[in-house]
Amino acid sequence: MLLSCCVFVSLMAAPCLTAPTLVPAGDSSPSTEPQLDVKRATEYLQRYYNLQEEPAGRAKRSGPSFASKVKDMQMFFGLNATGVLDPNTRETMRSPRCGVPDVEEYSDIQGTRWDKNVISYSIGRYTRDLPRSAVDSLVGSALGVWARASGLTFVRTRNRNADMAVEFATYAHGDLYPFDGPGGTLAHAFGPGPGAGGDVHFDDDERWTAGETGFNLFVVAAHEFGHALGLKHSRNPESLMFPTYRPFRSANLLSREDVANINALYSPVRVHPNYFSRFGRSSQQNPVPSEPLLPQLMQNKCAVDLTFDAVSVLGDATFFFRGRYLWIKHNEQYDIKEGPITNFMPKIETGIDAAFLVPRRSTAYLIHESMFWTVKGSLVKGKPRALSHFGFPAWVQDVDAAVHIVKTGRTLFFMHDIYWSYNENRRVMDFGFPKYISEDFPGINATINAAVYKEGFIYFFVGPQVLKFNCTQKQVVGVERANSWLGC
């Protein structure tokens, strides 16, 4: 099995790392050092920097091999490369981090990649720290970080043969790379490939949260999915792929380097050239060529694998959103208008994740991550507001799709394998939600990209297909290609 950047070259079980003692410069004998501290530093270098053991099974703890590996580690983290275990080095070594090594034997800039752009994932064992629905949402949102920056689509499945299997485990868990208890290694992942390739494991001895306490599952999962897609660790502290854990304050996790690297493996990104400046990322590091960022790459509406991020009726037309691009099909006409969203709605400089129309108010709502815009006709009214306006719990930061059901006066919000029902008359969430999508919509077993309600049917856009769901019979009664709605 080929493993990319996530090949666990020398990953070993180890207790939570504590600070090793300073090694005096020029002293090559370990006899003057507390053996426990040296042992912990040695284990760190063995796991993450390929420090070799001596034939007798005893790792070299002195001499040029040990010192050179300390220097490698210091250079990787931008520390003073002395080969000495100084306080900054000790502090870095004891920081909670990803279990994937920082250096490998491969010479390519990035690892292997999946040979497709629609990638399936499954969630097996859950953590005890969060509700299952929260884990599902956070995992989906972490994948969405990479989906929005690339041409990738992620579809959840309950099939054991999913490309990426996600699970929580403790200590030895069947992959030869046991976890080490609280602290130390938080998670690890395998690069693209068959078998264990693409799998992501989280140490359930950590305290997983959706906020700033403990370890934020969204942040760690997004990092590990980078490995599962083929990315290596970065030396850039601004990068999501930096190996040590750091809570992110920005709504956008990816640096310019992250976006450039994922698109070196997969298709060009669909973001605006000013994408990074709006999120406060430095433009001085690893500039990305502006050409791949331009939206004209998304104009082939009849591509076989075309998917939409959101679909909704606005006025007398149906709007199809993908990335920062938009197609508008007027209901009584054959011609289709298309172009960047900003050409039609200058106030919206992001992609749209979900959209729905409430006909009795002649108002549409366009959702991007945790914010939404109000639209009447095709005019955006006011500033974006928080998604929490609808009454979501705090851990919900985005949704996959939304649709208003005229007959019931409810708006349904879909997120991975769960959904909410919002009462538009009372403007509150209905009691008893979220519920599992599969319970009320049999046959809808994958992540919903978009949804539209028409004459008693809900049309679910799932990947490159549209599933026609009969709300009375509660079953799928038809399947067609998504871009057939654009005349393809």
Known binding-site residues for Zn(2+) equal 98, 173, 175, 188, 201, 223, 227, 233, 241
Q: Are 98 and 246 contacting, i.e. CB atoms less than 8 angstroms apart? A: no
Question: From CA 401, how far away is CA 354, in angstroms rounded?
Answer: 5
Backbone angles phi, psi at 375, to 5 degrees: -130, 130
Q: Partners of 479 in the beta sheet? A: 467
Q: Are 50 and 101 contacting, i.e. CB atoms less than 8 angstroms apart? A: yes
Q: Are 305 and 118 contacting, i.e. CB atoms less than 8 angstroms apart? A: yes
Question: From CA 47, how far away is CA 378, in angstroms rounded?
Answer: 56
Gap between the terminal Cα atoms of the chain = 39
Q: Any idea what the Cα angle at residue 35 is, between residues 31 and 37, rounded to 5°? A: 130
Question: From CA 145, how far away is CA 218, in angstroms rounded?
Answer: 10
Query: Could you tell me which of 358, 316, 367, 360 has the C-alpha nearest to residue 337?
Result: 316
Compute and round to an integer the Cα radius of gyration of the chain: 25
199: Cβ contacts below 8 Å, ≥ 6 apart: 164, 165, 166, 167, 175, 189, 190, 228
328: Cβ contacts below 8 Å, ≥ 6 apart: 317, 318, 319, 320, 336, 337, 338, 344
Check whether the bond before 131 is cis (ω within 30° of 0): no
Tell me if residue 386 falls in helix, strand or coil: strand
> Which residues line the annotated binding site for Ca(2+)?
129, 163, 180-181, 197, 199, 203-204, 206, 309, 353, 355, 402
Q: Are 210 and 202 contacting, i.e. CB atoms less than 8 angstroms apart? A: no
Return the active site residues: 224
> Which residues line the annotated binding site?
98, 129, 163, 173, 175, 180-181, 188, 197, 199, 201, 203-204, 206, 223, 227, 233, 241, 309, 353, 355, 402
Q: Any idea what the Cα angle at residue 34 is, between residues 30 and 38, rounded to 5°? A: 65
Question: What is the chain's length?
Answer: 488
